[in-house]
A and B are shown apart, each in its own frame.
Chain A
Amino acid sequence: MIAPRRWIVLLAALLLSAAAGAIDTEAAFADAARQARYEHLTNELRCLVCQNQTIADSNAGLAGDLRREVKEMIAAGKSDNDIKHFLTARYGDFVLYDPPLTPRTLLLWAAPALLVLITVGAAARVILRRSKAPIDADPEETV
């Protein structure tokens, strides 16, 4: 195996400017609804090069190219789903910060409801049990 880390470092040095946020030169669309879609989409897509930024925030060249693709697809009347599909066909689900619901992410998406049901359910059981127990005096007052 060659050292992939070395490659990453070089890549990072060249393509990345992690700390300088990406700035478009102008609003992508004059029409507010499309501009909103553009901002929403680019803020939910993960930059592949820097990996922990959205393509809206990343200054990497690839992020700029992907913003351009998104802009052109919106202009061409493509739906958000079409655009996401275009990108996942090339980069996989990794590109979506909003993980799609699949059998493999079912538990992930069920987690909030499940966890709250479990913890609150357990708390409710304790509260119901305790509310039937005799109420003792204040330990502070017994001293």
Chain B
Amino acid sequence: MIPELGTLALVIALLLASAQAFFGLVGAHRNKLSWMQAVTPAVAGVWVFVSFAFGILTYSFIVHDYSVGYVATNSNNELPLMYRVAAVWGAHEGSLLLWIEILATWALLVAAFSKSLPIAFRARVLGILGMVGVGFGSFTLLTSSPFTRLLPAAAEGADLNPILQDPALAIHPPMLYMGYVGTSVAFAFAVAAMLSGRIDPAWSRWTRPWTVAAWMCLTVGIALGSWWAYYELGWGGWWFWDPVENASFMPWLASTALIHSLAVTEKRGLFKNWTLLLAIFAFSLSLLGTFLVRSGVLVSVHAFASDPSRGMFILGLLLFFIVGSLTLYAIRAPSLKSDGGFELISRESFLLLNNALLVAAACLILVGTLWPLVMDAFNLGKISVGPPYFNMVFLVPTLPLLALVGIGMHAGWRRSALGGKRRTLALIAGGALLVSMVVTLVFYGGFGLPLTVVGFTGALFVMGSALIDPISRWRNKQGISRAALGMAVAHFGVGVFVIGISGVASYKIEKDVSMGPGDSAEIAGYRFNFIGTENVRGPNYDALEARVKITRAGTPVADLTTQKRKFKIQAMPMAHAGIAVAWNRDLFVALGDELGAGKWSMRLQYKPLVRYIWIGAVIVALGGLIATLDRRYRVPRTADALLPADAATDKVS
């Protein structure tokens, strides 16, 4: 009975979402106030019923209801409560429910925090989100219901995939989806603007905080995924260019471009077409990612159980939303031309170049991810496009980008205001180069890879450059706007991130050894002493735990344990690495196979500066948070008061 309530709740939510779409879009079109006023209750209703369905699925997991097929395949009596709750989104059907839940949550937030927007515009935005909800709601109900019964009920569940039994599973997917699905908000704002024919600085001002908020979640979500892969998969890599990773990275690049382009549209009323296009692209890439992960056209480590008929459904949705909105764009774009010039060297030029490079980077990943599929589909042979390709080609757009970030921050709108800062920037650049050479030589004993010094220099230059404004304003006792501070923080984070990549790529050390208790091995000056092993019982696995003491020049550094877990149901061995963290490096130990005669294979790794990859990403997201809190997004002002004198010509009537 209870699972059926879940299905019922989804059906009601679907009907309410249809009402949300209808009253929002048709109400705004016919200018019927009462229809438009009906949208907010519909949004709230959708949220309540989707959340109810979500709660029912969670409940089914908690009480081990194995008459629900999805629970039976993804849970087990011995699975701890935390993972039973997180298992809700551990596979295709449930994660789709999470998708819808998060979409409903975004719509609710927009409804709650956009009361100051013109009602017709707001109705359209929520109407579009309603349409997306109808699309994905029907996809769930028709092809992927998590409430499908298993008759007769299973006596015991098949257990959650052991790879997913990690605390990070509790936060990584919801965070990632907040970002992924959040791109639909910018999309809805863009389509609503095209429907009303009005794109002005006020529109950018409304759209920006939502875009930044979603982008922030996506940033943190991707960083969490990378961190999870780093310690959970047991081989110490942090990015594999797997199709699933690429699927989340492409919308991130497009969203990053969008944030920057919105800045120009807000400040100058320029690049409106381009901004609209980017908003559509960001959402398209996010839908494309959903398609790639769930349709089975690509092979991936963490792709969901795939099914071509589901693929067709998502493809239909994707084409409906994308081609529909792009056609609308083609109708509106010609009338949205804006004029207004800027000098060759100006903030606008830098932002446009930033956009060009970010879009090139996103397209590059798309090409690399899809190329094997294209060849396969046309029987041209099977190839693999992996890390060696991406690591190399990705530098083509991103290295120039790094250089541009450092300078672009200080260019003024319309015309260059670099003037006095030119000298400071040159000094920072020189200093960055000097510090990089000294650090690499003194601390790491060599220049490393061909690009090591370039990477460190670029990173330090960006970090230094980001600090110029905050420091000079602080010294002159001037205030700094949260927007400016957020930008500085985010760009500083980019530098920190690049430090991490450069350090770990250039100086990591990996060593496979066979050791028994009492043996020791040394890498990078750290001595790993194997103390001994003991058997450990987990809730649903048995593990063998090895203790390793690390010393450096005789002084103790860390005491680590690493486990090799054997899960009872899925009989899958899982390495659980031991990691000692310090400000300048990680030491990483993973236990391998028993070799007999009391010996074990072990992998020892020295990962210099690796933490800065994730710390950098978090700082970037923090910058976004600070910028969203800027005063100008808080003070409700009516749209018309903000219209620039020439913006009237942008109205399509």
Contact = CB atoms under 8 A, between A and B. Distances in A.
Contacts of A53: 301
Contacts of A132: 341
A134 B339 CA distance: 9
A123 B355 contact: yes
Contacts of B357: 116, 119-120
Contact of B368 (A17, A18, A111, A140): A111
Given A97-B389, A127-B349, A134-B341, A115 B572 contact: no
A140 to B, nearest CB: 7
Contacts of A6: none
A98 interface: yes
Contact of A111 (B232, B301, B393, B592): B393
Interface string A41-70: 001101000111110010100000000000
With a 10 A CB-CB cut-off, give which of B269, B383, B385, B641 has the most chain A CB atoms. B383
A90 interface: no
A143 interface: yes
Contacts of A31: none
B363 to A, nearest CB: 5
B356 A119 contact: yes
Given A43-B387, A138-B267, 15 more contacts: A16-B572, A20-B572, A20-B575, A27-B513, A52-B300, A54-B386, A57-B235, A92-B381, A94-B384, A97-B389, A120-B353, A127-B349, A130-B270, A136-B339, A143-B644
B162 interface: yes
A18 B163 CA distance: 9
A30 interface: no
B615 interface: no
20 contacts: A13-B571, A18-B301, A18-B572, A20-B572, A26-B513, A43-B387, A92-B381, A104-B380, A105-B383, A111-B364, A111-B393, A112-B394, A130-B340, A130-B342, A130-B348, A132-B341, A133-B340, A135-B415, A136-B339, A143-B644
Contacts of A135: 340-343, 414-415
Interface residues of A, number: 62
A46 B299 CA distance: 13
A23 interface: yes
Contact of B340 (A22, A24, A136): A136
Contact of B572 (A17, A27, A111, A139): A17
A24 B512 contact: yes
A108 interface: yes
Interface in A80-126: 92-99, 104-105, 107-109, 111-113, 115-116, 118-120, 122-123, 126
B413 interface: yes
B289 interface: no
Interface of B: 162-163, 201, 232-237, 240, 242, 267-270, 299-301, 339-344, 348-349, 352-353, 355-357, 359-360, 363-364, 367-368, 371, 375, 380-389, 393-394, 396-397, 400, 413-415, 510-514, 564, 571-575, 590, 592-593, 595, 599, 601-603, 641-642, 644-647
**5 closest pairs, A vs B, by CB?**
A133-B341, A97-B386, A139-B644, A23-B592, A21-B235
A20 B574 contact: yes
Interface in A9-39: 13, 16-27, 39
A25 B592 CA distance: 8
A123 B356 contact: yes
B360 A120 contact: yes
Contacts of A46: 384, 386
A139 B237 contact: no
Contact of B364 (A104, A112, A133): A112
A59 B163 CA distance: 15
B17 to A, nearest CB: 33
With a 10 A CB-CB cut-off, give which of B343, B349, B389 has the most chain A CB atoms. B389
Contact of A136 (B341, B367, B397, B593): B341
Nearest to A123: B356
B229 to A, nearest CB: 11
B234 A21 contact: yes
Given A113-B396, A115-B363, A115-B397, A131 B344 contact: yes
B601 A23 contact: yes
B382 A136 contact: no
Contact of B396 (A17, A59, A112, A127): A112
B593 A23 contact: yes
A46 B241 CA distance: 13
B446 to A, nearest CB: 13
